[in-house]
Amino acid sequence: MSRRFATGLVVGKFAPLHRGHELVIRRAIEECERVYILSYSNPEYPGCEPERRAQWLAKLFPQVERLVVSAENCEALGLGPMLHNDEDSEESHRDFVARVCEEVFHSRVEAVFGSDAYLEPFAEHLTRWFRWHQPGHAGVQAVVVDTAREVIPASGTFVREDVHASRHLLSPVVYADFVKRICLLGGESSGKTTLARALAAEWHTAWVHEYGREYWVERGGVLTFDDLTHIGQEQCRREEAAAGGANRYLFCDTSPLTTLFYCQHEFGSASPDLMALANRPYDLTLLCAPDIPFDQDGTRQPPEFRALQHAWYLRELAERGVRYTLIQGDVAERLASVQKLLCD
């Protein structure tokens, strides 16, 4: 099927990249043989740093050519100093985009897509620039998409005011980066799973089960050295998969650090991959104290093993410089403690 334009351009801060932006980009993909996406912002908005914007675009639109310009790469690209959102003139920004098209994308595009009123004069400016360098250029056409925001009632300013209240306006790929990961650690029968489940119910969000236990049961209680690395990798994969569907917080019942403990305990060492996974950062780490009755369900080690695990966590977290909060008491007391941590 032939498309309306050979080349098209979408420019935006994408801070954050919301479904309104996606609507514009998908329209460009439908109408153009080749699409270029340019994103830049100065100053940057917290949580929407260039690396994140680049990842969002790459995951959602791998088929298009993308460029996220930052203060770090602007000069390296030969574009000079980074422009400022408010201090530099509109004309300067339009010249900047034209230069990116010619010098980085190596394309004098035929269409520019967007939702804002400035799109028509922007297209006219690009037309003048391109014709100055290529007199026979046919001109740049403005393709305005959902200007009234009726299809997708979203704007970057609106979403930034409360990302969590606006999460329905964000792809899970984007929203996942705004979800705080809460890790629960502790020895066997220290209440991690009970607390993770209760916290998820309290905050109306998701929690990630301990994959290692699930896999251990599946394998009849017999694991190989390589199985432990697989467990750590799958635990992380499940966290990433769950984050986009969470609400503000994602509660993680254990982490690859726990897998490292079992690997070292059983085999005396661990793979480099598992060692690296054990450094996985979390926004908050909770260490459940072994101060509740031990429940021997037939799959656990003796109570002394729980004490050994707890001592290992205390030592390991200190050596790694990981800040944590010791959570004690019954479920109600633990819930209250975490509630206070999250609300302070």
Report the C-alpha gap between 259 and 265 in whole angstroms: 10
- Higher model confidence: residue 98 or residue 150? 98
Q: What is the pTM of this model?
A: 0.92
Q: Amino acid identity, residue 49?
A: E
- Reported confidence tier of residue 116, pLDDT bands at 50, 70, 90: confident
Inform me whether the pLDDT recorded for 321 exceeds 80.
yes
Inform me whether the pLDDT recorded for 24 exceeds 90.
yes
Report the C-alpha gap between 311 and 143 in whole angstroms: 63
pLDDT per residue as tens digits for the range 170-229 = 999 999 999 999 999 999 889 999 999 999 999 999 999 999 999 999 999 899 999 999
User: So where are the chain's domains?
Assistant: 5-165, 179-343
Region 95-105 average pLDDT = 96
pLDDT of residue 14: 97
Alpha-carbon torsion (212, 218, 223, 228), positive or negative: negative
Inform me whether the pLDDT recorded for 85 exceeds 80.
yes
How many Cα atoms occupy the beta-carbon half-sphere of 117 within 13 Å? 1
Report the C-alpha gap between 170 and 174 in whole angstroms: 6
CATH superfamily of 179-343: P-loop containing nucleotide triphosphate hydrolases (3.40.50.300)
Inform me whether the pLDDT recorded for 1 exceeds 70.
no
Residue labelled with tokens 């230069």:
99
Peptide linkage before 172 cis (omega within 30 of 0): no
Report the C-alpha gap between 289 and 306 in whole angstroms: 10
Domains 5-165 and 179-343 alike in fold: yes
Report the C-alpha gap between 197 and 253 in whole angstroms: 9
pLDDT per residue as tens digits for the range 239-291 = 999 999 999 999 999 999 999 999 999 999 999 999 999 999 999 999 999 99
* Cα distances (Å, whole numbers) of residue 90 to 20, 83, 95, 101: 23, 10, 9, 17
Peptide linkage before 16 cis (omega within 30 of 0): yes
Residue labelled with tokens 């690296």:
276
Report the C-alpha gap between 310 and 324 in whole angstroms: 13
> CATH classification of 5-165, choosing from 3.10.180.10, 3.90.1150.10, 2.60.40.10, 3.40.50.620?
3.40.50.620
